[in-house]
Structure 1
Amino acid sequence: MVKSRIPNPRRPLLLGAAALLGTSALLVACGAPGSPTAAGDAAHRSASPSASGGTTGASGGSTTGAARPTPGADESSAAATATPTATSTPTSTRTPSASPAGTPTGAPASPFASATTSPTAPSAPAASAPAASPSTHAPATGVLRHTASGGRTVALTFDDGPGPATGQVLDLLAQYGAKATFCEIGTNAQARPAAVQRILAEGHRLCDHTVDHPQPMHAQTHEQQVAEIGDAKAMIEKAAGGDPAVTWWRAPGGDFTAENERIGADLGMKSLGWTVDPRDWARPGVQAIVSNVQQNLRPGGVVLMHDGGGDRTQTVAALKQLLPWLVAQGYTFDFPQS
């Protein structure tokens, strides 16, 4: 039996039909470009840009340029680069407010966009920074360094008390009819209320010298400086009893700034400095203390000495020489400007 043969001209047509049927089956399996199941470059081209500069694919996953393999890179490099996207936090755990602009509420958000578009992330540190950071060190402009009356007057001031030497200082001042200002540590005033009351009873005046003498003062936060100055004033007033006037405050080490000057002013006190510092706190010797005052004092000056904060034997001995010398030089005793 002779089989019929298809003429050669019809064979190309049958082959072409078979090829067309194979292409259609392939498109059904893979999906047409732009359809929900499309993949590869067609999906990246149809995706909308995310807030981080990456793209959000049609399936909702986030991709960025960094997650794509570099042309020419081997497969292991490509897999390592793509890992962050594949293991990103599931979008179901993100809050809708963290979604980038243009992403529907509840839709998957780019993990990179949430770090840069969340409105609360950058604002939180800024709100807490002023309280945590150290205070500024702008210089004070209203520190007082002169007597109230001027002329040939002197203002004697004593810091860091009351202490064991305060009574001896008061005895010497009484002998010469001298008045002085006592800049007191809050905790010392609290521990020696009788000394504070004697200071006032004998006509002297009080000054706030902070709770516990922090140095440097300007390195304290604003809240700490408010507490140091304000609490000391309250402690001194309580130790004194009644309604004593605490007219001035003095920064430890003279570390006045515009900030703590304002704190003192808000509490009703002026900032009190000095013009003569014989460094008696360092115990340089009685004659060194005496010579320093005699050489540097000018009419209307404010002398800084100490009745507390340590051994003040040298200060008391120097005061025994300075008081008669001041009287002999024609000085009268005054309080600082207020």
Structure 2
Amino acid sequence: MTHRGAIVSALVVLALLVGGRWALGRDPVETILVEPGPGMPVATASPSAPPGTPTPTPPGPTATPTAKAPKPPTATGPIETRRLTGSKKVALTFDDGPHPTWTPKVLDLLRRNGVKATFCLVGTEVHQYPALVQRIVREGHTLCNHTWHHELDLGTKPEAEIRANLEATNREIRRAVPGAKIKFFRHPGGMWTAAAVKVSRELGMTALGWDVDPLDWKKPSSEAIRTRVINQARPGSIVLLHDGGGDRAATLAACPSIMGELKRKYGIALLN
């Protein structure tokens, strides 16, 4: 090695020693946190999903359960009583007669409007006014047994007592009209019991309920009676009205409009 080469080598070694010493003694770089100012984007950390994780599907609209179609009305009421006609046409029924004032007027209205109805007769009233029963039958209406004296609690009595009551009423009706067909039995107040239905069936009568009750026995106005019947009626309704048991002027006044509206919307049929 020449003298010049030795000097160069010595200088290189010296430079390495000084540089390493400077590097070993240098302070670490300070990290400065800067608050983001207006307009500066803010970095947010988004955790990465593990590989193979399926991307969640956004929830779709909540499924609305399908509403069940309303069940069609059945013709049978409590304890197998009949409450609908079984067709689109409706039927009119009149309870608690015959009455010497109101029954003839109801019959006149029915005749003028070409409507047939069912009359639910009380035995004691039949006994007093047999000629009215004869007119009811003569004009083509249907008869219904409504107990001997409108006994609301008859159905709670022993079967033998129920039978005696219904048989006595039927006998009185047939005394007025020999051989009369009595197709129906209606318990006063609709207070049906299984015993009352059973006995009436054994006597060949159908237990007759109703679908529309305007509560005319409480003596509301004629307009209230009319509105209640029209609003409650539907295809096949059996309408409960009264021609006896008290002042039936409001019922009589409501009947022309009731008959006209029901005939127009549904037709009126005689129960059979």
Query: What TM-score results when the alignment is normalised by the length of structure 2?
Result: 0.69
The alpha-carbon deviation at position 140 of structure 1 amounts to 5.4
- Contact persistence 1:140–1:258 (CA under 8 A): no
Instruction: Output the CA distance in 1 between the equivalents of 2:185 and 2:257.
Output: 28
1:160 equivalent to 2:99? Answer no
SS class of match (2:92): strand
Correspondent of 1:147 among 79, 85, 90: 85
Correspondent of 2:171 among 210, 234, 245: 234
- Contact persistence 1:210–1:252 (CA under 8 A): yes
Once the two structures are superposed, residues 258-315 of structure 1 have per-residue CA deviations (whole angstroms, 9 ceiling, x without a partner) of 1111110111101000000001011011111111101100011100000001111111
**Bigger radius of gyration:** 2
Correspondent of 2:128 among 166, 188, 191: 191
The alpha-carbon deviation at position 143 of structure 1 amounts to 0.4
Match of 1:332 in 2: 267
- Structure 2 regions of 5+ residues with no counterpart? 1-76
Instruction: Output the CA distance in 2 between the equivalents of 1:222 and 1:141.
Output: 16
Change (3 A) 1:140 1:292: closer
Match of 1:269 in 2: 205
Instruction: Output the CA distance in 2 between the equivalents of 1:243 and 1:180.
Output: 19
Instruction: Output the CA distance in 2 between the equivalents of 1:314 and 1:225.
Output: 33
Taking only the aligned residue pairs, the percentage that are identical comes to 41
Residue correspondence of structure 1 range 268-287 to structure 2 within 5 A: 268-287=204-223
- Contact persistence 2:156–2:193 (CA under 8 A): no
Please give the root-mean-square deviation of Cα atoms over the aligned residues, in Å: 1.5
Residue correspondence of structure 1 range 53-68 to structure 2 within 5 A: none
SS class of match (1:335): coil
- Structure 1 regions of 5+ residues with no counterpart? 1-138
SS class of match (1:320): helix
Correspondent of 1:294 among 204, 225, 230: 230
* Higher relative contact order structure (alpha carbons within 8 Å, sequence separation ≥ 6): 2
Correspondent of 2:190 among 241, 244, 254: 254
Instruction: Output the CA distance in 1 between the equivalents of 2:147 and 2:183.
Output: 14
Instruction: Output the CA distance in 1 between the equivalents of 2:126 and 2:188.
Output: 16
Instruction: Output the CA distance in 2 between the equivalents of 1:323 and 1:308.
Output: 19
Change (3 A) 1:289 1:140: closer
Match of 1:41 in 2: none
Count of aligned pairs between the two proteins: 195
Match of 1:206 in 2: 143
Correspondent of 1:243 among 179, 196, 199: 179
The alpha-carbon deviation at position 208 of structure 1 amounts to 0.2
Instruction: Output the CA distance in 1 between the equivalents of 2:264 and 2:183.
Output: 30
Match of 2:248 in 1: 312
